[in-house]
């Protein structure tokens, strides 16, 4: 390592630079492909040799927003994801607090199991249930099933954050005459706000991106964006330009939210086992 270190260093730098380039190409390429296709005319898109230089057009975005009812689908996704996230927080925060403070680890195991069962297993009974009650294609059906994802995730993520809050802090507040509720609201909650933001954003992203439940349980009135995007490729003649524009519109919110909480994602998805 020491002998001939200058030559070695140059070699090493070349290797690392190559590595960085190789690592950067796949994510950037697919995005470049998607964004540029959204700005291409149908003729340019179907050119057998992909065109690098073309005249950009906003027609695809206009078409998607005006003709395809896409704003309606985005609204549906927004409503469902917001409710699924908010309900998960309202129910999940106290539960996580209780599990963390009173060491009810067995309940935590139940939550872990809930997160691991395949979606197909949940879908079939809910499909039968909602079909019987004529509730297919309602927000209620979609929010209920999205809770299967958001509630366990919120609880699990928050257990870790609550465990990190020292017991003494709250006890001190209570000795000073604070009620438990007040000490929770004024002392504990501010300390775990990173966790609350992370759970909210992760829940929102998972609900926003959810496909299978929405595919079966939504209909013309409550169709969400992932299903709407998928429907683009079920026609005989695929409108790739419109599809790319739609895909761009659905990816952007999730992408921005992901970049905001990239540090918390690790904790959220390993359920606190690895702290980012």
Residue 20 Cβ vs another protein, minimum distance, rounded to whole Å: 7
Quote the CA–CA distance of 17 and 23 in Å, as a whole number.
10
How wide is the angle at C-alpha 11 spanned by C-alphas 8 and 17, nearest 5°?
140
CA 204 to chain centre: 5
Residue 181 Cβ vs another protein, minimum distance, rounded to whole Å: 10
Write phi, then psi, for 234 (nearest 5 degrees): -90, -5
Residue 12 Cβ vs another protein, minimum distance, rounded to whole Å: 9
Residue 80 Cβ vs another protein, minimum distance, rounded to whole Å: 14
Residue 173 Cβ vs another protein, minimum distance, rounded to whole Å: 15
Is residue 155 within 8 A of residue 90, CB to CB? The reply is: no
Name the residue among 153, 156, 136 with its Cα closest to residue 206: 153
Quote the CA–CA distance of 129 and 199 in Å, as a whole number.
29
Structure tokens at 187: 């002392």
How wide is the angle at C-alpha 157 spanned by C-alphas 165 and 88, nearest 5°?
110
Shorter beta-carbon distance to another protein: residue 71 or 124:
124
**CA distances, 221 to each of 29, 36, 69, 137, 218 (Å):** 35, 31, 11, 6, 7
Residue 183 Cβ vs another protein, minimum distance, rounded to whole Å: 12
Shorter beta-carbon distance to another protein: residue 219 or 276:
276
Structure tokens at 248: 């761009």
Shorter beta-carbon distance to another protein: residue 91 or 191:
91
Shorter beta-carbon distance to another protein: residue 23 or 185:
23
Shorter beta-carbon distance to another protein: residue 66 or 179:
179
Tokens 């330009």 sit on residue: 241
Is residue 224 within 8 A of residue 146, CB to CB? The reply is: no
Residue 17 Cβ vs another protein, minimum distance, rounded to whole Å: 9
Shorter beta-carbon distance to another protein: residue 209 or 222:
209
Shorter beta-carbon distance to another protein: residue 65 or 266:
266
């Amino acid at each position: 390592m020491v002998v001939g270190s200058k030559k070695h260093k140059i070699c090493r730098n070349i290797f690392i630079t190559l590595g960085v380039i190789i690592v950067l190409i796949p994510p950037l390429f697919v995005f470049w492909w998607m964004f540029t296709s959204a700005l291409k005319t149908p003729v340019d898109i179907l050119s057998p040799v992909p065109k690098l230089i073309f005249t950009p057009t906003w027609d695809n975005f206009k078409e998607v927003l005006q003709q395809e009812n896409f704003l309606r689908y985005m609204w549906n996704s927004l409503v469902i994801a917001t409710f699924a996230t908010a309900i998960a927080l309202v129910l999940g925060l106290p539960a996580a607090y209780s599990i963390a403070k009173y060491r009810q680890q067995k309940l935590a195991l139940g939550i872990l199991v809930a997160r691991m069962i395949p979606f197909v297993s949940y879908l079939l009974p809910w499909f039968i249930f909602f079909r019987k009650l004529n509730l297919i294609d309602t927000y209620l059906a979609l929010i209920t099933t999205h809770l299967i994802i958001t509630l366990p995730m919120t609880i699990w993520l928050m257990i870790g954050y609550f465990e990190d809050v020292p017991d003494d802090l709250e006890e001190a507040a209570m000795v000073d005459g604070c009620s438990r509720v007040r000490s929770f609201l004024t002392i504990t909650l501010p300390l775990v706000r990173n966790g609350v933001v992370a759970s909210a954003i992760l829940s929102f992203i998972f609900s926003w991106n959810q496909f299978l439940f929405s595919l079966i349980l939504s209909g013309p009135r409550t169709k969400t964006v992932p299903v709407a995007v998928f429907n683009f490729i079920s026609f005989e003649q695929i409108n790739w330009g419109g599809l790319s524009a739609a895909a761009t519109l659905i990816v952007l919110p999730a992408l921005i939210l992901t970049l905001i909480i990239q540090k918390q994602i690790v904790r959220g998805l390993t359920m606190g086992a690895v702290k980012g």
